[in-house]
Each structure stands twice: as structure tokens, then as C-alpha cells.
Structure 1
Amino acid sequence: MAFVRSKHLLALALASASMALGGCTSYAPAPRSFVAAAVQPYRLDSGDRMRISVFEQPGLTNSYTVDQAGYIAFPLVGQVAARGQTLPALEGAIASRLKQGYLRDPDVTIEIDRYRPVFVMGEVGRPGQYSYVPGMTAQNAVAIAGGFTSRANQKDIDVTRKINGQVITGRSIIATPVMAGDTIYVRERLF
């Protein structure tokens, strides 16, 4: 009887250990859309600030920030949807609206003045919000955030990114490119 009970306890302990270890490895690797999103044209979102120039129209040339709703307030034409737009698409949208009774042939150019930030959390020296720079990798972001702590897993990181309006989290190598608006999480190593 004691042998059967200890056999059941051993089986229960093995099952618990298996589930615990399975939980340690049950993560979703970064989907292919992570890499694809990093090589696509930049898409605007809340927090991006851009310099919009209208040729020979100094009253319209200024810096504009995409608000929380995804719009910019542009003189004469009002609210213009910017979230998810590429720079050329937004240039065309503003020019098209300016043609509707304001300017005959507007020449609109846009350049990013300030990208939305990246967020670095977990086992780093100074977790927080940091300025994004084109070409930034997760390793660069960790370095800006004070580097790894002594408990950090330095092999891979978790990245949370908005792709096509959907928020996705995946595990990636430390050298993975990051995008403006990404959240990078450095986990604690097990041993």
C-alpha cells in the first residue's frame, strides 16, 4: 500500500515538474510578421511628430503631432487621419484636401521630426521610455536603458509590437531590429 502511494506521489511530482518546465518553455517565438514589419515603409501612429512643409506657404509649414485618436490638426483642412499612413500617403492626402478650394497645386513634403518612443522593461539598469532611432536593435535599446542586470537573460528578449492594428508579443534574439512604439522586455534568467 505504501509502495502504491509513493508511486502515485512520484507520478504526481513528475507531472507537476513537467508542467512547470513546460510553462518555462511555452512561449511564442516572434512571428514572421515581426521581421516583415521592420522592413516595410514607416507607418505613423500616436506620438509621432513630423515637419510638414507646403512649398511657398510659410503659414502652413510647421511641426504637427499625431494625437491619441490618430489625427493631425492641419490648418485650413482640419483633422487629417494619419494613423497607419506612410509619409507619401499622408503627403497626398493633405495635398488633395488643400486642392479643394485652398491652393491650386500644393507641393507637400513630410519628414519625421521625432519618432514615438520605445519602452524597455524587466532586467535592465534603468527601465523606462526611450527615444527611437531608425536602425535601432533590441541590444541598442537595452544599452540605452543601462544594460543588463546581473540576473538578466541576455540570450533573447520579448518584443510587443502593433502590427496591422493588432498587438503581438513574441520572443526574439537580442539583435532583432525594433520599431518605434515597441516594448522590449528582458526576462530574468533561471540559473
Structure 2
Amino acid sequence: MSILRRLAVTLVLLPLLAVSSWAQDYRVRAGDVLQIEVLEDATLNRTAIVLPDGQISLPLAGSVRAAGRSLAEVQADLAGRLAPNFASAPTVYVTLSALAERVPSAPATPRLSDIYVLGAATTPGKVEVKPGATLLQALAQAGGVTPFAAKKRIQLRRVDKSGVEKVYKFDLDAIERGEAGGGATRLMSGDVIVIPQRKLFE
């Protein structure tokens, strides 16, 4: 064989060898699709998806654990289970037909809700809170109220889907003393908390 022909054959075989090496090292995962071939009995040939519990199923072999094993290990296990049904050890091939869809492992960052605090707050303005945050938590993020706040007349203003504004009133003094509820009211994005100024003799 000429040098050029040997070089051409080598270039063709290198990708195949790389794929073969990768296949040997690959560990099967739930959701992968395996192609199973039994040379001695074509009726056993099939495509099998690895179930969430890591198992695949094949007639005469039953359920076989595939997840976490190499293709060669799954192949050997199937051949061993099928052997009693044949006069001689069957020839079994297991190849990877499709990879399971990989889900990103990083958790999604929860979307924050925009709440607006007006009036006698230490830091009025837009406050970004986590979904499910309460009235008291939003006030805390705004730095609380100033000494001039009319704590008995706190308002929560909310516009519903039809565009109608509803006003809810809270007595922050009573909430802080534990004599009234309302502090655990869950906020929605777009809510406006109004903290009026105290009147002269309030």
C-alpha cells in the first residue's frame, strides 16, 4: 500500500476510532434511546428508551438496568440473560440511537416583582422583592418608615386586571404590637404602598 493510500485510510479511521472510544466510555442515562440487535433472533431487535428508573425491557430478558452502565456492560448483561433461551450464547449488539435531552443543571433565577413605596419611607421608590413577599418585608426593604409617618393609615393600592384600583388600609402600629393582621399580605408586581405624613396632632 502506498504512503498516500495509508494516509487516506488513517484519516478515515481516526474519526471512527474517536467515536468508538467515546462510546466505550459513555455512561447510559435515563431518557437515552438504545438500539438492540440479536443476530440469532431478529424478532428481539428493537429500540428501547431508558426509563426514569434506569431500566430497559426486552422479551426473554425482562427488565435490565441500563442507566449508569456502559453500552458494553448493558450488552453483556442482555447476552447473559438471553443465553438460556438459545443453544449457544447469542450475539447481542447495543448501540446508542439517541441521547436524552439534557436539562440545564443551574436553577433558574426567580423573577423579581416591582413594588413602589411612596411617602414617609426611609428609602421611597421602587423596591424589587421576591415573588410572594409580604407587606412587612417590602417595608423593611424600603428601610422602614420615618418618625413622621402616619403609621395607622398605611395604604396598599392595587390595580386589578380590569384596571380598577383597590385601596387596602393597614394600621402598622397595631400590626407591630401583634394586635392586627395584614402584615403578611402577599404583594403583587405593580403594587403601590403609600405611607402618608402625620397630621399636626395625629
Relative to the length of structure 1, the TM-score reads 0.41
Relative to the length of structure 2, the TM-score reads 0.39
Higher relative contact order (CA 8 A, sep 6+): 1
